[in-house]
Structure 1
């Protein structure tokens, strides 16, 4: 889940979405004010989020399709968005077990521990800062994310091919696929498609013509980008960019 450029903060006009670089390495801290209306669909971005919604701590797994967020009609939502390959080590759960799911943190960690954390976040002046503190404390007691898979995500995010990425990582196709399921929630080809779509959306949003955005993002042509929007976002590029 990511309400960044293409999540609920962007998809529903008039809402107040804010994000900043997190104190947690590679993460983004964000808040969303829903007083202007309900949140719109969230597009796949390869990330996982720790969420504070309606007084609950939730985890959003990696998406393969546009998802309607489980959010209250009004109020504020806070989240910590982890870079691809980062959250599974922190949560202690392979990413593929959370693919296309939203789960209570208490389903992953001891409920009593989560109750204490929930009270701590609820009592904090800024819930998003409390989420960061939670993640930092947890990271100090867990193994670091697999650096090789973070490198894989960075290369795919830069538009490198899966074959070249596997070769540079020193992994065979089956090894890369297996480790990608654990780190990202799906295979490297799916992650590459998701990240390519996000690159194209960022370019189109900045004013780059659709055909040029498709080419620069790594699509074969504009029709290819249109098919990917339908498959991954369930809409058209124009409809998405004008939905706010």
Structure 2
């Protein structure tokens, strides 16, 4: 069972998941990175370019999902170095620090509460967030082309690409595809016909929407909405 709530850290989400059964799970790409806890270990989930299949991972998972573009500043690691990866936090931070943080999470009332406390401490130590990633997300999520997004933010296309790699793990074109996927899924889940969903979210047609969903998630739109994988 999956549950989530808004975090005290602006833009972040605190979640917990206890998979039922032994089937594979599927985490869709969303431009985010997560601080994870699983069976007493702390990990970082990097940004995904395709759906991440959990392959029947058992036990309870907890996490803090950071708002797109914000985690690299907290971790001190560019997002593209963690693209499509799950790594131990000890690979990114001193082992002694990670032992201390792990003990704090394991001693907390719940793992998610301990993770949120770490996230809030990291945010306090790193200072005010860079507003540029939020501006990139807002422009692309509004459907603006990449070139127009760069102009709006006062960047060259090359600068936008470089800043996007560091903040999100991939370039603005990939981020735009991922954000558009989620806009489409939000509409389709409310019962909007697939053809109308495609038109309203900027796809050329329903076939284009179908290709993009399968490419980014590994499933057809109907199977995805039915909860398979």
TM-score (norm 1): 0.89
SS in 1 for 2:159: helix
Residue in structure 2 matching 1:113, options 97, 102, 112 = 97
Deviation digits for residues 17-71 of structure 1, max 9, x if unmatched? 1111100111011111224444511111111111111211110011011111377
- How many residue pairs get aligned? The number is 228
> Does the aligned pair in 2 maintain the 1:85–1:145 contact within 8 Å?
no
Residue in structure 1 matching 2:144, options 160, 168, 177 = 160
Residue 10 of structure 1 corresponds to none
| CA shift in 2, pair 1:227/1:35, >3 Å | closer
> Does the aligned pair in 1 maintain the 2:37–2:62 contact within 8 Å?
yes
CA distance in 2, matches of 1:54, 1:193: 34
How much does 1:148 deviate?
A: 1.4
Residue 49 of structure 1 corresponds to 34
Residue 27 of structure 1 corresponds to 12
Residue 62 of structure 2 corresponds to 78
> Does the aligned pair in 2 maintain the 1:96–1:184 contact within 8 Å?
yes
**Pairwise mapping of residues 1-244 of structure 1 onto structure 2 (< 5 A)?**
16-69=1-54, 72-73=57-58, 75-244=59-228
Gaps of at least 5 residues in structure 2 are none
> Does the aligned pair in 1 maintain the 2:64–2:116 contact within 8 Å?
yes
How much does 1:85 deviate?
A: 0.7
CA distance in 2, matches of 1:195, 1:104: 27
Gaps of at least 5 residues in structure 1 are 1-15
TM-score (norm 2): 0.95
Question: What's the RMSD between the two structures over aligned residues?
Answer: 1.5
SS in 2 for 1:152: helix
How much does 1:239 deviate?
A: 1.2
> Does the aligned pair in 2 maintain the 1:205–1:241 contact within 8 Å?
yes
CA distance in 1, matches of 2:219, 2:163: 31
CA distance in 2, matches of 1:155, 1:194: 13
SS in 1 for 2:143: coil
How much does 1:159 deviate?
A: 2.0
CA distance in 1, matches of 2:27, 2:128: 28
